[in-house]
Amino acid sequence: TGAPDLLVVGSGFFGLTIAERCATELGLTVQVIDRRPHIGGNAYSEADPETGIEVHRYGAHLFHTSNRRVWEYVNRFTDFTPYQHRVYTTFRGEVFPMPINLGTINQFQRAAYSPDEARAWVTEQAAQITHAPTNLEEKAISLIGRPLYEAFIQGYTAKQWQTDPRELGADIISRLPVRYTYDNRYFSDTYEGLPVDGYTAWIERMADHPNITVTLDTDFFDETQPFNKLACVGTTPVVYTGPVDRYFDGVHGDLSWRTLDFETEVLPTGDFQGTPVMNYADTDVTHTRVHEFRHFHPERDHPADQTVIMREFSRAAEADDEPYYPVNTPQDRERLLAYRELAKGETDVLFGGRLGTYQYLDMHMAIGSALSMFDNLIAPHFTDGVPLT
């Protein structure tokens, strides 16, 4: 016992990648703490007690990456199924494939456009944006034209972000491909799949090292708890993956986050919607999407006459809510710069992950960025004495 070589605050993918690399590659002792009663952050999943169906408690997590190093790294801890994500969206009582592809366009237009004809139609509809798009709305219209934007993006985005789409970054919509083929795969990455025995088994294997101790229900900001900020910063190197504004007590104002609410239901049918994720584009439907978990694992044995669905609702996060998505308005960006300055001055504390950097990182990006932090900052510090920060 005694002080660990490194304290990691947060047991999501970023924190556990750091912990695992430090323990395995450098032989360091690593203490990981998490405020929640379980490991894995928002990637946590568990079997529904009634049906045994794996439920992603914080919304569907689909693993995909084009980064070979990340893919090889994650394959140390789990095998992956050949799952490929596809999404459909309901708009005015009709189901369309998402992301927008030739099938979506032809169904929407009741047409049989060739790829070139579809492109010409969209270009015509997009012509009103003549300058470089600077926000989500302009970017979307420049990509797909106004009619498709109004049908599939505007309402959904209003429900998900409840922020004027002209205040949102263009990068949010650039996440979605637009294709002039009938390929309706959600992701365009080289590697994709779901962990064969679930997310929690994968995550537990990352933490399963004699040098790694994970302590749950432990809040870094609660001075009565072990490994709290006051006691550790300055004495133990820290990798902090919680919200960056929270670390500095909100001195530059709060950053805005979206949180999600979920309504989970077990239904007496073997198939509720015939697909893993159904989006709802209309604003009179208050949820953004419905997840039906059995469809993520068609290879598993599931009950023939029961299914688990989860309706997802989005709203602004308040102080006690789980932050999910950085909203990143111009005001947020200004505050973030101020927090980054403070973070730079924080000796022996590194900030990482979706919350610690206030960036919309997918799982593979969080893992990739943790591997880089390990290579560029942590390993040089512990092997060659280079200052950590």
Q: Can you give the binding site for ligand GDU, defined by CB under 6 A?
A: 60, 62, 87, 89, 98, 152-153, 156-157, 160, 172-173, 175-176, 186, 277, 279, 362
- Segment holding 57, helix H or strand E: none
> Which of 305, 167, 151, 216 shows the shortest CA–CA distance to 10?
216
CB of 135 to ligand GDU, least distance (A): 12
In the chain, count H helices and then E strands.
15, 16
- DSSP per-residue letters across 81-133: ------EEEEETTEEEEES--HHHHHHHHT----HHHHHHHHHHHHTT--SPP
**Taking the complex as a whole, how short is the minimal distance between the CB of residue 260 and ligand GDU, in angstroms?**
9
Nearest approach in angstroms of CB 388 to ligand GDU is 31
Residues with a known catalytic role: 175, 179, 258, 289, 312, 360, 362
Residue closer to ligand GDU by CB (options 191, 374) is 191
Least Cβ distance, residue 362 to ligand GDU (angstroms): 5
User: Quick one: 67 or 213, whose CB is closer to ligand GDU?
Assistant: 67
- Residue 93's CB is within 10 A of a number of other CB atoms, namely 6
Question: Nearest approach, Cβ of 291 to ligand GDU (angstroms)?
Answer: 8
Give the nearer residue to ligand GDU in terms of CB position, either 96 or 382.
96
Backbone angles phi, psi at 256, to 5 degrees: -90, 140
Give the C-alpha separation, 173 to 384, whole Å. 42
Read off the tokens for 94: 């009709």
What does the alpha-carbon distance between residue 366 and residue 207 come to, in Å, rounded to a whole number? 16
How does DSSP classify residue 374?
A: I
Q: In angstroms, what is the minimal distance from the CB of 89 to ligand GDU?
A: 5
d(CA 134, CA 165): 11
Q: In the bound complex, what is the minimum distance in angstroms from residue 157's beta carbon to ligand GDU? A: 4
* Nearer to ligand GDU (CB atom), residue 173 or residue 212: 173
In DSSP terms, 97 is beta-bridged to 88
Q: 169: which 2 tokens?
A: 């970054």
| Comparison of 168 and 239: residue with beta carbon closer to ligand GDU | 168
Euclidean distance between CA atoms 316 and 231, whole angstroms: 32
Q: Which residues contact 174 (CB under 8 A, 6 or more apart)?
A: 139
Bridge partners (DSSP) listed for residue 367: none
Burial (CB < 10 A; 0-12, 13-18, 19+), residue 27, is: exposed
Instruction: Please state, as a whole number, how many other Cβ atoms lie within 10 Å of the Cβ of residue 40.
Output: 25
